[in-house]
Amino acid sequence: MHLHPNHNEKGNILVVDDTPDNLRLLSAMLNTQGYEVRKALNGKMALTACQMLLPDVILLDINMPDMNGYEVCKLLKADDATSGVPIIFISALDDVLDKVKAFDVGGVDYITKPFHGAEVILRIENQINLRLLQRALQEKNSLLQRALEDLQLAQVKRIQSEKMASLGQLVAGVAHEVNNPISFIYGNLQYTSQYIKELQKLINLYQEEYPQPTENIENRIKEIDLNFLINDLENSMGAMYRGAERIKTIVQALQNFSRHDEAEMKQVNIHKGIDSTLLMLGHRLKENSQRPAIEIVKDYGRLPLVTCYVSELNQVFMHVINNAIDALNIGIGSNKWSLATKGEKESNANITTMPKPHIYIRTEITNSETVRVLVVDNGPGIGKEIRARVFDPFFTTKSVGQGSGLGLSISYQIVVQKHKGQLSCTSSQGQGAEFFIEIPVAQLN
């Protein structure tokens, strides 16, 4: 089918009338004015003619056998391909109700028989000019829409760039400032532990050499509970060691997440980026008074090093996992988690049916040499209308001040445009949500 108007002539007119004399008259009249005219004796022929070649204007008789003009008009307006073609009704009927019905079914004009040539030509030219203006307006609207989308994209990129720069500098600065004192503490703990052991040896030696202490010393030993103090001091040193190790791990995760000094693509282990993100979000995963702790189920595959902008990809992990946590928090009000029993677990395949809040993270390499990261939550899910807009800039379902609507939009730009990958979401109401992040293992120039 050729559903496009033919602009070789002044205009393409389809005349539909069951009276051959009327067809000949209108055809001759329009041909002399430079119009290309096609003729149809009934409604079925008219519908077929529109499918073969889209006319610029249709002159449609109302009273025809089998299928009248009103019925033909309704069918044309119901079809997206022909709904925009202007239809001028022609009829010997001059009743007001007939005219009202003609306009009601979609007609744009009405000519009564016997018609005058000048009137017919003028009405056709008005509709053709109006159609041309409508097309020009649609083109301008399309240009404006593209300009708006480009402006929003540029704004998102600028916000992303500024956000990444400030976030990287902040995180790197905090990590640097924390790293110096914790290194000092961690380094001195080793010596402090050794000093305490030497003092313990000295106390033991005193007890061996002077098994009968004076009354004052014995009272002091009882007062401070020397045996407990010695045993607990060892436990305290172990706790300080573990605390210092934890802080060192967090600092390393901050540095790994920010990577602010690595603006170029490089090969990285993306599992480290995911783990660093989870470590930074650890406080949001803990149990609170309204829900149990969110369990993280990791199913990591054997992945090669991936060429990417590591700090920006880490930001994608942050946004997607944060989004999953927000979804699980939404489920608080519905007592969704009250069915959970202690130690209750489900297989990874049934992650979305788990009664406790879970986030399932799987990584794998595909046959097409891409790395896929799947993030699944068993929250309340996302409705169809919202799911269609989750990656739109500035779209958010959160309350004012709770979110800017840029997180997933920025993530989409990072994955799709900067890494030539894919970011998609599948979900249904009440069934949790799945986010797919997929990027090539190696970026081609």
Q: Would you say residue 322 has pLDDT above 90? A: no
Q: Which residue carries 């001028």 as its tokens?
A: 88
pLDDT tens per residue across span 336-358: 554 443 334 444 444 444 468 89
What is the CB neighbour count within 10 angstroms for residue 207?
Answer: 12
Residue range 272-288: average pLDDT?
86
Q: Is residue 275 located within the same domain as residue 399?
A: yes
Q: Where are the beta strands (DSSP E) in 194-339?
A: 266-268, 295-299, 306-308
Q: Which residues contact 359 (CB under 8 A, 6 or more apart)?
A: 294, 295, 296, 297, 321, 324, 325, 328, 375, 376, 377
- Residues 92 and 170 grouped into a single domain: no
Domain end position, chosen among 66, 92, 115: 115
Residue 434 inside a domain? The answer is: yes
Residue of higher predicted confidence among 389 and 43: 43
Residue 256: CB atoms within 10 A of its CB come to: 22
The answer to whether residue 216 is domain-embedded is yes
- pLDDT at residue 303 tops 90: yes
Q: Which of 312, 242, 245, 250 minimizes the C-alpha distance to 278? A: 250
Domain coverage including residue 42 = 12-115
| 428 and 304 in a common domain | yes
Residues of the chain with pLDDT > 70, as a percent, come to 80
Banded pLDDT at 298 (limits 50, 70, 90)? very high
If asked whether residues 398 and 274 sit together in one domain, one would say yes
Domain count, the chain: 3
Q: Which helix (H) or strand (E) holds 179?
A: helix 117-209
Judge whether 353 lies within some domain: yes
* pLDDT band, residue 64 (cuts 50/70/90): confident
As a whole number, the mean pLDDT across the chain is: 79
Helix ranges (DSSP H) in 259-373: 270-280, 282-285, 310-330
* Cβ contact 397:312 at 8 Å: no
Please state, in angstroms and rounded to a whole number, the distance separating the CA atoms of residues 123 and 87.
11
* Residue 105 phi, psi (nearest 5): -85, -5
pLDDT (tens digit, 9 = 90+) per residue, 97-151? 878 888 888 888 888 887 777 888 888 888 888 888 888 888 888 888 888 877 7
Torsion angle of C-alpha atoms 166, 171, 172, 174, degrees rounded to 10: 120
pLDDT of residue 353: 47
What is the predicted pLDDT for the residue at 331? 61
Q: What gap in Å lies between CA 72 and CA 18, rounded to an integer?
A: 13
Alpha-carbon span 442 to 364, nearest angstrom: 15
Q: Are the beta carbons of 430 and 415 closer than 8 angstroms? A: no
| Residues 372 and 293 both lie in one domain | yes
Most confident of 9-13, 15-19, 229-233, 430-434: 15-19
The per-residue pLDDT for 339 is: 40
362 and 249 in a common domain: no
Q: What CA–CA distance (Å, rounded) separates 75 from 68?
A: 11
Does 108 share its domain with 245? no
Per the model's pLDDT, the better-predicted residue between 326 and 9 turns out to be 326
* Final residue before a domain boundary, out of 64, 84, 115: 115
What values do phi and psi take at 111, rounded to 5? -120, 130
Domain assignment present for residue 123? The answer is no
The amino acid at 414: I
For residue 428, is it within any domain? yes
**Residue pLDDT, tens place only, 204-241:** 888 888 888 888 888 888 888 888 888 888 888 888 88
Give tens-digit pLDDT for 358-391.
999 999 999 888 999 999 998 888 877 777 767 7
Whether 299 and 431 map to the same domain: the answer is yes
Q: Give tens-digit pLDDT for 250-269.
A: 776 666 665 544 557 889 89
pLDDT at 403: 45
Rounded alpha-carbon distances, angstroms, from residue 310 to 35, 95, 227, 394: 63, 74, 52, 25
Of residues 297 and 5, the one with the higher pLDDT is 297
Establish whether the linkage from the previous residue to 211 is cis, with ω within 30° of 0: no
The domain that holds 96 is classified in CATH as: 3.40.50.2300
The predicted-structure confidence for 384-430, as pLDDT tens digits, reads as follows 777 776 777 655 655 444 444 456 877 888 898 888 999 998 887 77
Q: For residue 230, what are its two tokens?
A: 């010695």
Burial class (CB in 10 A: 0-12, 13-18, 19+), 114: exposed
Residues 98, 247: Cα–Cα separation, whole Å: 84
Q: Give yes or no: residues 328 and 430 share one domain.
A: yes
Q: Do 287 and 423 belong to one domain?
A: yes
Residue 301, pLDDT above cutoff 90: yes
Element (H, E) at 110: strand 109-112
Task: Please determine, for residue 296, whether its predicted confidence score (pLDDT) is greater than 90.
Answer: yes
Nearest to 274 by CA among 223, 315, 216: 315
Residue 72: name the closest of 117, 103, 39, 42 by CA: 42
Enumerate long-range contacts of 338-341, CB under 8 Å, 24 or more apart: 340/292
What is the share, in percent, of the chain residues with pLDDT greater than 90? 13
Question: Do 243 and 254 share a domain, yes or no?
Answer: yes
CB 37 within 8 A of CB 59: no
pLDDT at 297: 93
Whether residue 221 lies inside any domain: the answer is yes
Where a domain ends, among 234, 260, 286? 260
**Confidence at 6, pLDDT banded by 50, 70, 90:** very low
pLDDT at 441: 92
Same domain, 245 and 266: no
Exposure of 288 by Cβ count < 10 A (0-12 exposed, 13-18 middle, 19+ buried)?
exposed
CATH assignment of the domain containing 373:
3.30.565.10
296 in a domain, yes or no?
Answer: yes
217 located within any domain: yes
Between 290 and 366, residue with greater pLDDT:
366
Rounded Cα–Cα distance for residues 286 and 296 (Å): 11
Stretch 12-33: mean pLDDT, rounded? Answer: 87
Q: Average pLDDT in the 168-191 region?
A: 75
**Is residue 200 pLDDT above 50, yes or no?**
yes
